[in-house]
């Protein structure tokens, strides 16, 4: 049959990214406790198209991704992009996979178990110059405002927030370990299930551990830097302020020596 995408184009315009966006697909990722975890991802896959070609073959993105869906671990994600690059004869390929990652979590006093969801993202690029890969992990937290606590006779305002960590792949690491660092640096973690005795504990523990967004970002940064695993990482915190119209935000990043 006629292959229109492979025909020549006379407009002399190179396209940096062409592909499929928002593909929903079941995938399997590594789990520290259960070894593997099945979840559902939103997938974006792209390749470059040189000016001499009309387009790309969209079906080949999905053909290759389907073969990797049962084991889309971090290193295999880059292998998948290399396979897409080969299948399309492209100079460069790009990929992004967003998925909820679930951890079974015990309430702090009652010990009752429930599932917590954390948003994760793989982002990668493969070309003749090499490979680039980052993992982004977002974890909800609770913060108590140190200023509010210091100036108030009764109580202090608290709020839920989100901490997002992006790391460039170095040695192997577990998603769960990054989440644990974030939660340990907050005023308190967030839980799906709390009984009254748990609510009392969380409320009082957070009150005894007030944190600004600046504190959280610096604490998470220090903990991740001390792992000495990542050539690059960034940390940001945003809290959804309970008594202000605006949110509070802080960000920093680390760039070390590669190799």
Q: Using CB atoms within 10 Å of the CB of residue 46, give its burial: 0 to 12 exposed, 13 to 18 middle, 19+ buried.
A: buried
Structure confidence at residue 5 (pLDDT): 56
> Token match 């390749």: residue?
47
Structure confidence at residue 7 (pLDDT): 60
> Token match 């998925």: residue?
99
Interatomic CA distance for residues 14 and 11, integer angstroms: 9
Alpha helix ranges (H) inside 130-234: 146-151, 175-185, 196-207, 213-227
Give pLDDT tens digits for 17-28.
999 999 999 999
Check which CATH number belongs to the domain holding 211 and give it.
3.10.270.10
3-state secondary structure of 172: coil
Total domain count, the chain: 1
Domain region containing 150: 4-255
Structure confidence at residue 238 (pLDDT): 98
Cα–Cα distance list, 242 to 11, 143, 162 (Å): 54, 11, 14
User: Considering the entire predicted model, what is its pTM?
Assistant: 0.91
Give pLDDT tens digits for 64-83.
999 999 988 888 999 999 99
- pLDDT tens for each residue of the chain, 259 residues long: 555 555 665 677 888 899 999 999 999 999 999 999 999 999 999 999 887 777 677 899 999 999 999 988 888 999 999 999 999 889 999 999 999 999 999 999 999 999 999 999 999 999 988 999 999 999 999 999 999 999 999 999 999 999 999 999 889 999 999 999 999 999 999 999 999 999 999 999 999 999 999 999 999 999 999 999 999 999 999 999 999 999 999 999 999 864 4
256 phi and psi, to 5 degrees? -105, -175
Mean pLDDT taken over the chain: 93
């Amino acid at each position: 049959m006629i292959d229109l995408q492979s025909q020549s184009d006379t407009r002399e315009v190179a396209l940096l990214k062409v592909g499929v966006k928002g593909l929903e697909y079941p995938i399997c990722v590594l789990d520290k406790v259960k070894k593997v975890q099945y979840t559902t991802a939103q997938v974006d896959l792209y390749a470059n198209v040189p000016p001499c070609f009309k387009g790309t073959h969209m079906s080949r993105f999905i053909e290759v991704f389907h073969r990797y869906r049962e084991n889309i671990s971090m290193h295999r994600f880059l292998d998948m992009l290399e396979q897409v690059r080969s299948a399309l004869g492209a100079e460069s390929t790009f990929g992004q996979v967003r998925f909820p990652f679930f951890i079974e979590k015990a309430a702090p006093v009652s010990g009752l178990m429930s599932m917590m969801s954390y948003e994760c993202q793989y982002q990668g690029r493969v070309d003749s110059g090499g490979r680039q890969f980052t993992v982004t992990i977002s974890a909800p937290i609770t913060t108590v405002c140190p200023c509010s606590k210091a100036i108030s006779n009764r109580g202090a305002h608290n709020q839920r927030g989100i901490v997002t960590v992006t790391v460039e792949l170095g040695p192997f690491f577990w998603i769960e370990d990054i989440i644990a660092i974030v939660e340990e640096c907050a005023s308190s973690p967030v839980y799906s299930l709390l009984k009254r005795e748990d609510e009392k504990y969380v409320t009082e523990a957070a009150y005894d551990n007030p944190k600004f967004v600046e504190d959280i970002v610096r604490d998470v940064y220090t903990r991740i830097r001390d792992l000495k695993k990542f050539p690059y990482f960034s940390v940001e915190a945003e809290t959804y302020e309970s008594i202000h119209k605006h949110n509070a935000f802080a960000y920093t990043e680390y760039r070390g020596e590669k190799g």
